[in-house]
Amino acid sequence: MTKSTDTLIRYLYDKNPETRSRAAMDLGEREAVEAISSLTKVLGRDDDPSVRSVCAEALGRIGDSEAVEELVVALETEENERVRLSLNWALKTIANKLGKTVEELVEEETTKRTGIIDKTGTSTTQEPRETDKPKEFPIDKRSELLRKIIERYDALPLEKMTKLLKFERELWLEEWLLDLPDELAFQIKERVVYFPDNLKTTKEKEDYLEQLIESFESYFEEKAHD
């Protein structure tokens, strides 16, 4: 019996990675546009690289431009080579369906995130001042990126972490890092941020990440309203 799209979407969150992969594959094969949101969430959060890979390919088969932003963001932080190949394949497939090159597709997405184009075709994006508020990228997406960074890196230069989290200024990120309470604080040596490696259990790690992200979102929400 053929499973409904809603059922397959629920299976994306199953405990078994094979079930999640199979559901993503089936959703891609039926080009289920209504599954894009769930597929992008799983792509950004699933611990299993094979599941992330299948989700990326499913988004490519669906071929809707709605998925481009998440595919580009995932490509910026993904380290697994198989998943990166799937992400590139998905972007190429969507670009072909839309009659564009991958470069054109990514450029359009970047423009949407960072500025607008006037009637002459010129970007109206301006270099932000040091006092500008960090509103260019949604806080929930920054939180997802922060989680990935903590889970996949042992340390990062402050400059690279700033770029991955889509900030124009290191100062905004550095202020938050310095404002963290002792139980959440990172070590920073010679402009390199070192992430904690003493979390012994999955629960300890998850509790730490939840507190860290809560602090992160609270800080930048306050910043946006200053």
**192 vs 18, 113, 117, CA distance in Å?**
38, 27, 36
Instruction: Write the DSSP string, 109-153.
Output: HHHHHH--B-TTS-B---PPPTTS---SS-HHHHHHHHHHHHHH-
Q: What per-residue confidence (pLDDT) applies to 93?
A: 94
Instruction: Summarize the confidence of residues 50-64 as an average pLDDT.
Output: 95
> At 26, which helix (H) or strand (E)?
helix 17-29
Instruction: Summarize the confidence of residues 27-47 as an average pLDDT.
Output: 92
Cα–Cα distance measured from residue 35 to residue 62, given in angstroms and rounded to the nearest whole number = 9
Instruction: Summarize the confidence of residues 76-103 as an average pLDDT.
Output: 91
Instruction: Give the model confidence (pLDDT) of 194-213 as tens digits.
Output: 887 766 567 777 888 888 88
User: Is pLDDT above 60 for 51?
Assistant: yes
Catalogue the E-assigned strands of the chain: 155-157, 187-189, 192-194
What predicted TM-score, i.e. pTM, was given to this entire model?
Answer: 0.54
